[in-house]
């Protein structure tokens, strides 16, 4: 695997050869953590975009927190197959082994500019060795070997972002290097295929996705979806996480989901709760599905929801900006892939009404059409 033509949206600093030194130090220190606490080691295998991934973690609580979002992707059939991506993590407190000095110093210049949402990317877009630093967690990646090594200061310090969408920077970078860019969208499905829900934050994507899954449709993700072009006119959406952010509005709309969500991260009307759909609707989660429609969601003050065709340009405008600006990696290949998607897949606008029960028949009917066009 070689680094792909992507850029980093996260604030970044260069590291030169120190990136290789940092990764080597992390890999060596992870080995020490393995030997120090062999009884605290867990290994799981799961599938991302049809590729086997190995996740090894030292620290039982860390393994539970990190692995929760990937439970719907677990695999037991590829034990003898070499993973396409290896992820090794350790809990510093549980293992009694701290992060190596080389890994800390490689990113010291950038930590003062650390951003809450994206963190600091250490290294350039073309570098083989890249680091990602966030509060309480340091990750280093060898992109050519597809190997991520990371340490967590304490599970108590993991943010809701790192528990709900864990390892998102190296995972999105790995997807991009494989030619499966990750876009900002939700994805629901029937047996006939999937509807990709797109739009800026706050435009109703999560509301539609939750209404659909509670109405019997399949769920492949919210916020992060891998987009593969599997043929001249065929596109496949791949799941990354099972997690959803449940807001106060979501609690009011979908009270049946509240018992499965964590307590709010803070006492505020803007607080969000982490919800794993594997807990709430485990039989409705999927890994991959052909994309049959791109649906731009908008909020409506009407009681009933409505669906109508929309131009390719309007659908691309709903999809591209949030994907290019919100996600930590981007590039021209991302935009080209999204442009080809709306060119070959029917595009619609879904006005999300106040009565969420009216959403499900519209989406289901759309996906069960033999020819959506």
Binned at pLDDT 50, 70 and 90, residue 17 comes out as confident
320-329 pLDDT, tens digit per residue, is: 998 988 777 7
* Averaged pLDDT, 37-47: 95
* All residues at 6 or more sequence positions from 282 whose CB lies less than 8 Å from its CB, including other chains: 72
Binned at pLDDT 50, 70 and 90, residue 365 comes out as very high
* Averaged pLDDT, 39-61: 96
Q: Is the pLDDT of residue 87 over 90?
A: yes
196-210 pLDDT, tens digit per residue, is: 999 988 889 999 999
Q: What DSSP element (H or E) covers 210?
A: helix 205-214
Higher pLDDT, 51 or 125: 51
The pLDDT assigned to 200 comes to 87
* Averaged pLDDT, 157-177: 94
The sign of the dihedral angle between the CA atoms of 311, 315, 316, 318 is positive
Q: Is the pLDDT of residue 120 over 90?
A: no
Binned at pLDDT 50, 70 and 90, residue 334 comes out as confident
Q: Which of 105, 88, 137 has the alpha carbon at shortest distance from 19?
A: 105
The pLDDT assigned to 220 comes to 98
CA distance 270 to 141: 34
* Averaged pLDDT, 49-70: 97
């Amino acid at each position: 695997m070689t680094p792909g033509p992507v850029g980093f949206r996260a604030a970044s600093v260069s590291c030169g050869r120190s990136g290789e030194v940092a990764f080597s130090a992390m890999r060596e220190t992870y080995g020490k953590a393995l030997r120090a606490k062999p009884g605290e080691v867990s290994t799981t295998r799961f599938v991302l975009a049809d590729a086997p991934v190995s996740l090894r973690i030292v620290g039982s609580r860390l393994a539970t927190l990190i692995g929760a979002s990937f439970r719907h992707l677990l695999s037991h059939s590829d034990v003898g197959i070499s993973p396409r991506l290896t992820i090794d993590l350790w809990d510093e407190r549980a293992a009694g082994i701290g992060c190596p000095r080389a890994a800390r110093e490689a990113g010291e210049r950038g930590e003062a500019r650390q951003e809450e949402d994206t963190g600091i990317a250490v290294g350039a877009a073309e570098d083989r060795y890249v680091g990602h630093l966030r509060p309480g967690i340091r990750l280093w990646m060898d992109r050519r070997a597809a190997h991520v090594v990371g340490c967590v200061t304490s599970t108590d310090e993991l943010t809701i972002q790192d528990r709900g969408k864990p390892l998102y920077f190296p995972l999105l970078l790995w997807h991009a290097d494989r030619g499966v860019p990750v876009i900002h969208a939700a994805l629901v499905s029937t047996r006939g295929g999937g509807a990709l829900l797109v739009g800026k934050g706050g435009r109703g994507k999560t509301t539609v996705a939750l209404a659909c899954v509670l109405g019997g449709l399949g769920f492949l993700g919210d916020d992060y979806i891998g987009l593969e072009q599997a043929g001249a006119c065929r596109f496949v959406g791949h799941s990354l996480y099972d997690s959803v952010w449940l807001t106060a509005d979501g609690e009011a709309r979908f009270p049946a989901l509240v018992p499965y969500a964590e307590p709010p991260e803070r006492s505020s009307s803007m607080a969000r709760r982490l919800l794993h759909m594997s807990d709430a609707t485990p039989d409705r989660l999927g890994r991959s599905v052909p994309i049959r429609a791109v649906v731009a969601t908008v909020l409506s003050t009407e009681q009933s929801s409505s669906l109508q065709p929309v131009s390719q340009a309007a659908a691309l405008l709903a999809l591209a900006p949030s994907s290019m600006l919100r996600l930590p990696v981007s590039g021209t290949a991302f935009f080209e892939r999204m442009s080809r998607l709306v060119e070959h897949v029917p595009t619609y606008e879904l006005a999300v009404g106040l009565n969420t029960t009216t959403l499900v028949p519209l989406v289901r009917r759309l996906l069960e059409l033999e020819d959506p066009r």
